[in-house]
Chains A and B, each alone.
Chain A
Amino acid sequence: MALGCKKLDIAPNDQYSSLNFWTTSANVYNALNNNYSLMYNSNLYFNLEGTSDNAYSANNSDLLLIASGTANSQTAEFQNDWASYYSAIKSCNEFLAFVDQNKTLDAATLARVKAEVRFIRAFEDFNLTKWYGDVPLINDNITEDQAKTETRTPQAQVYTFIVSEMDAIASALPTKDQLASTENGRITKGAALALKARVLLYQNKWADVVTTCEALMGGTNGSYSLAPNYENLFNDPATNKTNNESILSLQYVPATTRTWSNYWDFAPRSVGGRVSALAPTQELVNDYIMLNGDSITQSGSGYTEANPYVNRDPRLTATVVYDGYQWNNEGSTNGPSKTIYIKPGSDPTQPGLDEYSRNSESSSPTGYYWRKYFDPSALANYQSGNNLHLFRYAEILLDYAEAKNALGQMDATVWSQTIGALRTRAGFTDPNALNYPGNTDMTVIIRRERRVELALEGLRTDDLRRWKLANTVLNGYVHGAQFSGDPSTDNGYIRAQKRTFNPNRDYLWAIPLSELNLDKALTQNPNY
C-alpha cells in the first residue's frame, strides 16, 4: 500500500512476551514475588475474625450476613475469596509450568523457588478447603475448557495432598537459621512444618500433630522460641520484624506502597481511628483470665463487674482497648497518649469521641477497640509496614498442648512447655496461673488460652468450626460492654448483633452460585 509505511506487527515496548520472560532470571524472582503477594492479604487476615465470636463488624455487609447466618450462595465474600484463592493457584501453576524454561538459575535455586510456590499453592488449597469443604484441587496450569469440568475433591484428600506437598518440598527449603537477613520472610522448612501441623490439627490427627510440632520444638528445623514480649511481637516494628517466634509472616515494608491500613478502622477515634469496622466482643474479653489464673466466673477470682479490667491477663491490655484504657502512643503521630473514655458521658471532653453510642458509625458498637497490631511507626491513616503473622511458634505450642491433651498425655512437663511458657511470656507471675493445675477442665483451659493468645490473628472461626462450637457460641446475641443503659436486658451489656448459626449448613461456606452455573460438575454444600 503506497501510503502505508507503518508496519502492522506492533509489540509493546514496556512488557515481556512469552518468548523472553522466563529465560531472564530476574523475572523468575518477579514471578515468585507475585505469588507471594497473592498468598494472602490484610483484609482476609483481619476481616474474617468478624465471623467469629471474637469480633463484630457493623459496617461490612458481607460479614453482617455471614455472622447473622443469612448469607447465601451469592454472598460476595464467598465469591470473592474463592476467586482470590484460585487466582493465586493459577499464578502458582503457571509458574511451575514455565519456570523450567529458565536455563541460568542453578538446580538448587530452581528447586527452592518451586518449593516456595508449592507451599503457597498448598496454603491456598488449605484456605479453600477450610471454608468450602470439598473443593477442586487444581495442580496443573489448566485451560479455560478444563476449568468448566473441574470436580470437587473430598476435603480429606485435599488435606492429604497438602501434607504430602509439605513433606515433598521440605528438603528443598532452607531452615530459618539458614536464611540470610535479606531473605527474611521467605518460606522455610519451618513454615512447611507449621502448615502441616495446622492441617493435621484440623483433622484431629493428634499423634501426627505431636510429631510435627516436636519437629519444630526440637530446633533442628530452625531455632524457634517465644519472643520476650507479647505486645511487641505485633506492635513494635523491630520485634515484629526480627524475632524467633515468627515462622511465616505476611511481609510489609514501612513507608512504601507495600503497607496495610486496616488498623485505621480499628483504633479509637480520639487517637486517629476512622470508623469502627471490627470491634472486640464482651465474649472475648470475658475469656481473659485473672492474674491469679482463675477465670472471671470462678468464685474467689476477684473479678467484679464494676471494675472489670483490673488484675486480668496482661494480654487483655495488649489486645483490647476498654473503658479507661491508658493509651500510650509510643511516639506515634496518629494520636496522643491519653485515657480512652468509652462509657457514655464519661469523657471530660465532650462530645466524647470514643464513647459508645448506638447512632455512631465511628465509635465502637461494642464499647471495645483493638490495641493489637497498633503500629506506632505507622504513617498517616495508620499505614503500617508491620508484618502480619501467619504462623508463629506460640500456635505450635498450643497445637502441641491440644494434641497432647487429646491423647491424654497432658502433664506438668507439657504444660510448662506450652501454656505455662505462654503465660510466663504474657507476664503472669502468680504460681497459681503458671503451675500445672491438673487435668480439671484442661480442654477448656487450652481452648481459652488459644483464643486469647491468638485473638485477631484469624484463627478463631477455624477453631469454632473444628471444635463444633459454632452452633453454641454463634447463636444468640453477641455483646458489647455493660453500656446499653438498659439493665433489664442482658444485664445491661450491649446487644451488638443477633446471630444465628445453622449447624446443618453454616459449618461450610456456600460454593458461589456463579461457579455452579459455569461448572456443572460442581455440587453445592448442604442446605444452601
Chain B
Amino acid sequence: MLLASWFAPAYAAGNTKEKTLFTQANISISGQVTDERGQPMPGVSIKVIGTNIGTVADANGKYTLSLPDNQVSGKLQFSFIGYLKQEVSIEGKLVINVTLQPEPNNVLNEVIVVGYGTQKKATINGSLNTVGSKDIGDKPVLNAYQALQGESPNLIIQQSTLDPGANVNINIRGIATTGNNNPLLVVDGIVSQNVNDLNLLNPSDIANVTVLKDAGSAAIYGSRGANGVILVTTKSGKFNQKATLNYNGSYGWQVPDVLVHKVSAADNAYYRNEALENSGLPPAYTPEQIQQLQAQGNGTWDIQHLIYDAPLQTQNVSISGGGESNSYFISGGYQNQMSNFIGNGGQGSDFGYQKYNFRLNQTSVIGKFKFNGILEYTKTRNKTNSVGDNNIIADANRVPANYSWTDAQGNFLTNPVASQYNEYGVLKQGGWNQADNDRIFGNLNGTLTITNNLKLTGVFGGTIQNNGNFFRRTQVNYLPAGVYGNDLTTFDNNAKSNAFNTQLYASYDKTFHQDHHFSATLGVSSENYYERGFQLQKTLTDPTFGTSTTGTLIDATNSYNSLAVDQNSLLSAFGRINYDYKSKYFLDFVFRDDSSSKFAKGHRNGFFPSVNTGWLISEEPFMDNIRKTMNNLKLRVTYGIVGNNQTAGDYSYQTTYFNYPAAYGFGNVLQGGAGTNLSNELLTWERAATFNVGADFGFFNNKLTGSIDYFNKVTSDIEQTPLDVPALFGAAPPVANVAKVRDQGWEFQLTYTLKTGKVTQSFSANIANTKNTLLKLTGNTQQFTYQQDVWQLIRAVGHPITEYYGYETNGFYQNQSDVSSYPHPAGTTVGVGDLKFKDLNGDGKIDSKDQTFIGDPFPHYTFGFTYRIAYAGFDLTAFIQGVGQRTEFLRGELVEPFHYDYGQTLYDHQLDFWTPENTDARFPRLATIGSPSNTNNWRTGSNLYAFNAAYIRLKNLNIGYTLPPTLTQKIGIQKLRVSVIGQNILTLSKLNFMDPETTEFDNNVGGSNASNSARAYLLPKFYGMGLDVTF
C-alpha cells in the first residue's frame, strides 16, 4: 500500500494552541521535537516531571508549554512509544529542541500497513505479521509465495506441483471452511481478484508484506476477510534522497532430486515371477530370460533420462530517488526458469517459464495535495509439454529398467508395457502448451490535507489482464508401433478481464486533553470485475504449422466465442475508529458493510464488525522496576465477525440453462443440447466469528522480541454443495449455506539479535499450529469425498475437515494357524504374508464397521527458522522451514509393486516386503492384481498407504561478501556484494521417495479427485551465484 507513505505520520495530531493547566502561568517554553533522522515528530508527550503539567507536540513536532516559575529549575520529560525517554533540565531556557532516539529493536515502533492506512505496531490490537523485503528478496525464487513460506507463523504455503510457474495453496491460520480458503490479496491498496496474482509481482519490487490474521485486523475487508488478508506494499522512492541505481541478479542451476530407483531388470523379472507364483499363476520369465536380462543391463527408460539441470536466472535493475516534493522508483526485472524436463515439444524454445516486470512509482506533493501513481506491466510466458507431468512421470516409472527411450539410431521406442507412448518422444516432438499472459496494474491516488487533523484520500486502480494459451499436439511415431498426437489438435484461447476498484475515504486524527487520542478512517469503495474469453479448437491440422488443411475439423464443443462473461460487483462502506488513553489503553472498532452481486436481493448485504482492545502493560508504573529487563509487553484481545463470499460463483442464485453443441445426432447430423444448472436463491456469505488473544513482548533492550497469539474461529453458513443428497436425486444440488467449522490455533514467534564486537547475529523462529473441527455438515451427516480401493477421504462432524479413512493394519499372517484363526474381510482369501486388519469392534469379522479415521492430511506444527550472521563484509543467511506433523497417503506404481499390471516395476524403496525370511516387513508379500492376496492387501483401503510427511528443510542458504565501500567507492560503486546461493539443499524426512512438501489437495483439503499417485514434478535443488551492485 503506497498510500501508507503519504498518509504518514499516522499520529498527525497535536494541539497548536496549548493552554497551561495552571492559572499561575509565568513562563512559556517552546521548541520542536525531531526524530533520529531530523524529521519533525508529532504526538510526543511532554511533561514536567513531578507535576501533571504537560502537552503534546503538534503535527510539525512543535510545542509550547506554559508553567509556573517555581518549576523553572525542574525537568521536562519527552516521551513517545518506541522511543527512549529523554529528560532535559529547564534551567531557565525558553526554547528547548529535542531529538529523540528510537529504542533499539523496538518493534512497537514499526509503522505497519493496515487496510486503508498505516498504524504504529504499538497501537495495533489485531493479530498480524509483517515480512520485510530482506526476507523476500534474497531468495532466488520466481514466486513470491515461495519466498513467504515459513516467514510468518500460520501462513501455510503448500505446493501441489513444483513446476515452473505453478501456483501454490495458501492458508492463513489453517482451514476454516470447506469452501474456498484463499486469503484476500491487496496490492498497494487495490484488491486483487486472485490470490495467486502475487506470483506475477517481481519479488524484488516488494517492500513489505503484512499478513492480517484475525477479525480485528481483517474486518476492514468485511465479506472477504475471513480467510485473512495479505497486504503487499511495493517499493517506492524517498523524498530528499539522491538517485541510486541498483542491479541485482542471480544465476544458477536447478538440480532435480530423483528419489526413486528401479531394481535391475533381472531382479524385476525375478520379483515378478514371485508375485505370479504367490498368485497361483505361472511365471512370466524363464530362468534363461532372467539371465539374459542380467546380461543386458539397464536401459535408459527412467526419469533421469528425461530431465537435466536447468538454469534459473533473475536480473533486476531499479532506479530510485527523490527531491523536496517528488520521489520515484523505476524498476525492470527479468526472470527465466527453465523446466527440468528436456526438450521443446518440437519447435521454439525449451520448456520453461519467463517473466518480465516493469514498474513505475511516482509521488508528487503540490501544496496540500499529494499525488501518487503506480504503473506496472507484467508479462509471463510458460511453455509446458503437451501431455502433462503426471503422465510423463508415471510412464517413466512404470516400465522396467531393461527398456530404453531410444535406439541407437535415435528412434523413439515403445515396449510391451508402455505400448503406445514414449514420453521422451513427446517431450522432444509431441507439441507444447504455451501460456502468454499480459497484465497492467495501475493505481492513481491522491490525498488532500484539509486540516492538520483531517485528510481525504481518493483511489482509483485496478488491473487489465489478457491471458492467452496456444496449444499444439504434434505427431510422434514410435518403433515398433504406437503413435502420439495423430489427432493433431491445435487450440488457441484468450481471456480478457478488467478489475477496477474505486475508493474514497477520510482520515481524522486528534489528541484531546493530552491523554485521549482519537483517530478514525471512514470510506466507501466500489469494485467491478468483468471477464470474457474465446477459444478455437481444431483437430487434424497441418502437421508443420497447425493451420487448417484438408480434413481439418473445427471442434465445436471446445470452441466458443467471446460470449461467456463472468461479472461481479461489490459496493462497500468501511471504517476504523481508534482510541487510546495515555498510549496505554487501546480500543478500536472496525467495520465494513458489503453488498455483492453474487447473491440475490435480500441476501446480498452483510455487516462485519470487530471490537478490539489492547493494554500496553509495560507502560504501567508497576512495571518500572522490571522495565530494564522487560522492555515491552502488550496484551491484545479482539473479537469480530468476518465473511467469505469466494465460494459462490457469479450467478449461483439464478437457475440457468446452457445450450451446447454435439449432444446427439439424428440422420447423421449433429444436434445441440441444453443442460440445467440448479440454483439456490437463499445463498449468502459465510460468517466467521473470530476471537483472538495475543501478546507482544520485548526483553533485554529489545534484543529478544516476540509475540504469541491464540485464536478461536467459528465459521458458519459455509457455502458448499449439500453432501446429504443421495445421487438418486439425479443432479448436483446447488451450493447452499450448510456447514460449520471451528478452527483453533496458536502462533509463536521469537527474534533474538546479538551484537558482539564486529559480529552481528540474529535468530528468528516461528512455529504455529491449527486444529480444525467440522461442527456441522449438511444436517450432521458425514461424507466420503473420495472412495477408492486404496483408502477413503471422509468429512465427519467432530473430526478435522478431511481425514483419511479405512482399515488399520495389524501386521501379517505369519503362519497357517494365523490364517485360519485371524479374521479377514469377507470375500477375500488370505495366505501367509498377507496383511491383517484390526478387528476394532471385536466381533470376529473384518467389515466396514472396523474402518476408522487413519490420518489427517493437513500440515501441523509448521515452522520457520532464520539465522543471520554478518562479520567484516561477510554475511550468511540460513533459512530452515518445515512441517512437524503430516500424514500423507500415497498410491500408485511407486507404492504398490506391479501396480494393477499398469506398472510393471519394483523400486528399491519397496523391497521391504514380507517373505518367510523378512516377517517384520513394511509391505505385504508380492502378488498380482486380481489375486486374492492383492485384493486383501492393496484393494482393501488401509493405512498401508500412510506415510509420515513431516520434514525439515534447509530451504535457503545465502553467503555473501560485500567489498569494502572504501574500495568500491573509488570506482563510484556504493555497494558491491557477491553471493553464493543454495536452495532446498538438505531435507530430512521419513518420506524418502517423494518430496514431502507437495500435496494433492487444494486449500480446503477437498478431495473429490484427490488421490496422490506420487507422480508430482521433482523437487529442484538450486545452486547459484548472485551479484548486487548499487551506484
Q: Residues on A close to B: CB < 8 A? A: 1-18, 21, 27, 29-31, 33-34, 36-37, 58-59, 61, 64-65, 68-70, 72, 74, 76, 79, 82-83, 86-91, 93-94, 136, 138, 142, 144, 147-148, 150, 180-186, 241, 251-258, 269-270, 274-275, 349, 351, 353, 357-363, 379-381, 383, 385, 484-486, 489, 495, 497-498, 502, 512-515, 517-519, 522
Please tell me if B873 contacts chain A, counting CB pairs below 8 Å. no
Most chain A Cβ neighbours within 10 Å, of B280, B486, B568: B486
- B792 cross-chain contacts in A, Cβ below 8 A: 74
Asked if residues A274 and B666 are in contact (CB atoms below 8 Å), the reply is: no
Q: How long is the Cα–Cα vector from A385 to B674 in the complex, in angstroms? A: 21
Interface check B799, CB cutoff 8 A:
no
**B787 neighbours in A (Cβ, 8 Å):** 74, 76, 79, 513-514
Distance of B678 from chain A, by nearest CB (Å): 9
Please, could you name 22 A-B residue pairs with CB atoms under 8 Å apart, sorted by A?
Answer: A1-B573, A5-B526, A10-B568, A10-B597, A14-B564, A27-B659, A30-B663, A30-B674, A33-B664, A34-B673, A64-B930, A76-B788, A82-B727, A82-B728, A83-B727, A150-B726, A181-B667, A183-B666, A269-B419, A349-B480, A498-B280, A518-B724
CB-CB nearest in chain A for B600? A9
Collect the chain B residues with CB atoms within 8 Å of residue A18's CB.
Answer: 655, 657
Q: Is the CB of A30 within 8 A of B672?
A: yes
- Whether the pair B654, A36 counts as a contact (CB closer than 8 A) is no
Q: Which B residues are CB-close (under 8 A) to A270? A: 481
Is B622 interfacial (CB 8 A cutoff)? no
Instruction: Look across to chain A and name the residue whose beta carbon is closest to the beta carbon of B481.
Output: A353
Contacts A70-B935, A86-B730 aside, 19 further interface pairs with beta carbons under 8 A come to: A4-B569, A9-B601, A13-B563, A30-B672, A30-B673, A33-B664, A37-B673, A74-B787, A74-B792, A87-B730, A90-B729, A144-B733, A251-B666, A269-B419, A495-B282, A497-B930, A513-B848, A518-B726, A519-B728
User: How far apart are A250's CB and chain B's nearest CB, in angstroms?
Assistant: 9
Q: Which residues of chain B (357-408) have a CB below 8 Å from chain A?
A: none
Q: Are B284 and A358 in contact (CB under 8 A)?
A: yes
User: Complex Cα distance A2/B661, Å?
Assistant: 44
Interface string of B407-435 (1 = CB under 8 A from A): 00000000011011000000000000000
Neighbouring B residues of A349 by C-beta, 8 Å: 480
B670 is contacted by which of A86, A256, A357, A522 (Cβ under 8 Å)?
A256
* B647-669 at interface with A (beta carbon < 8 Å): 650-651, 654-659, 661-669
Known A257-B555, A360-B416; contact A484-B282, beta-carbon cutoff 8 A: yes
B919 contacts chain A at the CB level, 8 A cutoff: no
| B871-915 residues at the A interface, CB under 8 angstroms | 900-902, 904
* A91:B730 contact, CB within 8 angstroms: yes
Q: How far is the CB of B769 from chain A (nearest CB, A)?
A: 32
Chain B residue contacts of A74, Cβ below 8 A? 787, 789, 792
- Residue of chain B at shortest CB distance from A90: B730
Q: Which residue of A lies closest to B903 (CB)?
A: A361
CA distance A12 to B311 in the complex (A): 45
Give complex CA distance A353, B419 in Å: 9
| Residue in chain B with minimal CB distance to A69 | B827
Evaluate contact between A34 and B668: CB separation under 8 angstroms: no
Q: How far is the CB of B936 from chain A (nearest CB, A)?
A: 9
Tell whether, in the assembled complex, residue B571 and residue A8 are in contact, meaning their CB atoms are under 8 Å apart: yes
Q: In the complex the two chains form, is B569's CB within 8 Å of A184's CB?
A: no
Binary CB contact string for chain B from 782 to 803 against chain A (1 if under 8 A, 0 otherwise): 1010011100100000000000
A251 touches B664 (CB 8 A): yes
The smallest C-beta distance from A228 to any residue of chain B, in angstroms, reads 21
Q: Contacts A241-B668, A361-B901 given; indicate if A86 touches B657 (C-beta within 8 A).
A: no
Q: Give the docked Cα–Cα distance between A10 and B565 (Å).
A: 11
Chain A residues closer than 8 Å to B482, beta-carbon distance: 269, 274
A241 contacts across to B, CB distance below 8 A = 668
User: How many Å lie between the Cα of A353 and that of B281 in the bound state?
Assistant: 23
Chain B 495-514, CB-CB to A under 8 Å as 1, else 0, gives 00000001110000000000
The reply to whether the CB of B627 lies closer than 8 angstroms to some CB of chain A is: no
B526 touching A34, Cβ below 8 Å: no
Contact B662 A361 (CB under 8 A): no
CB of B665 within 8 A of CB of A253, answer yes
A258 close to B657 (CB less than 8 A): no
Residues of chain B contacted by A17 (CB below 8 angstroms): 654-657
Is B98 an interface position by the 8 A CB rule? Answer: no
Min C-beta distance of B774 to chain A, whole Å: 16
Q: State in angstroms the CA–CA spacing of A369 and B756 once bound together.
A: 81
Number of interface residues of B (CB under 8 A): 99
Q: Cα distance A522–B727 when bound, in Å? A: 12
Cβ contact within 8 Å between B669 and A70: no
- Shortest C-beta distance, B892 to chain A (Å), equals 13
Q: Would A252 and B665 count as touching, CB distance under 8 A? A: yes
Q: Is the CB of B597 within 8 A of A148?
A: no
Which B residues lie at the A interface, using CB under 8 A?
A: 272, 276, 280-282, 284-285, 416-417, 419-420, 480-482, 486-488, 502-504, 524-526, 528, 539-540, 553, 555-558, 563-565, 567-569, 571, 573, 595-597, 601, 604, 650-651, 654-659, 661-677, 722, 724-731, 733, 781-782, 784, 787-789, 792, 827-828, 848, 900-902, 904, 929-932, 935, 939
Smallest CB–CB gap between A273 and chain B, Å?
A: 9
Known contacts A8-B596, A148-B724, A275-B420: does B731 contact A90 (CB below 8 Å)?
yes
Tell me, in angstroms, the Cα distance from A53 to B406 when the chains sit together: 40
Q: Which residues of B contact A486 (CB under 8 A)?
A: 282
Q: How far is the CA of A241 from the CA of B667 in the complex (A)?
A: 8
Whether B282 pairs with A14 at a CB distance below 8 angstroms is: no
Taking the nearest CB of chain A, how far is it from the CB of B294, in angstroms? Answer: 17
Q: When the two chains form their complex, are residues A11 and B419 in contact, meaning their CB atoms are under 8 A apart?
A: no
Interface centre among B280, B556, B565 (most CB of A within 10 A): B565
State how many angstroms separate the Cβ of A104 from the closest Cβ of chain B.
16
Instruction: From B486, B539, B666, B726, give the contact of A185 (CB < 8 A).
Output: B666
Top 7 A-B pairs, shortest CB-CB distance: A90-B730, A362-B419, A360-B416, A30-B674, A147-B729, A34-B673, A253-B665
Q: Which residues of A sit under 8 angstroms from B657, Cβ to Cβ?
A: 15-18, 21, 27, 31
Within 8 Å CB of B676, what residues of A? 91, 94
Q: How far is the CA of A257 from the CA of B537 in the complex (A)?
A: 11
Is B827 within 8 A of A515, CB to CB? no
How long is the Cα–Cα vector from A331 to B677 in the complex, in angstroms? 44
Of the residues B280, B567, B722, B901, contact of A58 by C-beta under 8 Å = B901
A381 pairs with B487, CB closer than 8 A: yes
The residue in B482, B539, B569, B827 that gathers the most chain A C-beta atoms within 10 A of its C-beta is: B827
Contacting residues, chain B, for A144 (C-beta < 8 A): 722, 725, 729, 733
Question: Which of B540, B662, B672, B935 interacts with A380 by CB under 8 Å?
Answer: B540
Residues of B within 8 A of A383 (CB): 487
Contact across chains for A34 and B504 when beta carbons are under 8 A apart: no
Give the residues in chain A near B487, CB-CB below 8 Å. 379-381, 383
Name which of A33, A255, A513 has the most chain B CB atoms within 10 A of its CB.
Answer: A33
- How far apart sit A181 and B667, CA to CA, in the bound complex (Å)? 6
Q: A256 to B556, Cβ gap below 8 A?
A: yes
CB neighbours (8 Å) of B567 from chain A are 10
Distance, CA A252 to CA B665, complexed state (A): 6
Question: Do A3 and B486 touch across chains, with their CB atoms under 8 A apart?
Answer: no
Residues in A with CB closer than 8 Å to B557 are 257
Contact B729 A86 (CB under 8 A): yes
| Residues in A whose Cβ lies below 8 Å from that of B556 | 256-257
In-complex Cβ contact of A61 among B480, B665, B789 (8 A):
B789
A148 and B725 contact, CB distance less than 8 A: yes
B539 to chain A, nearest CB (A): 8
What residues on A are CB-neighbors of B655 within 8 Å? 17-18
- Residue from B281, B569, B651 within 8 A of A8 (CB atoms): B569
Q: Which residue of A lies closest to B561 (CB)?
A: A14
Assess whether A184 is in contact with B667, with CB atoms less than 8 Å apart.
yes
Select which of B503, B504, B650, B726 is within 8 A of A148 by beta carbon.
B726
Q: Tell me the nearest residue of chain B to A274, going by C-beta.
A: B420
- Which residue, of A253, A257, A362, A379, has the highest number of chain B Cβ atoms within 10 A? A257
Given the known interface contacts A65-B939, A252-B665, A257-B662, the answer about A489 and B553 at a Cβ–Cβ threshold of 8 Å is no
Which residue of A is nearest B479, CB measured? Answer: A351
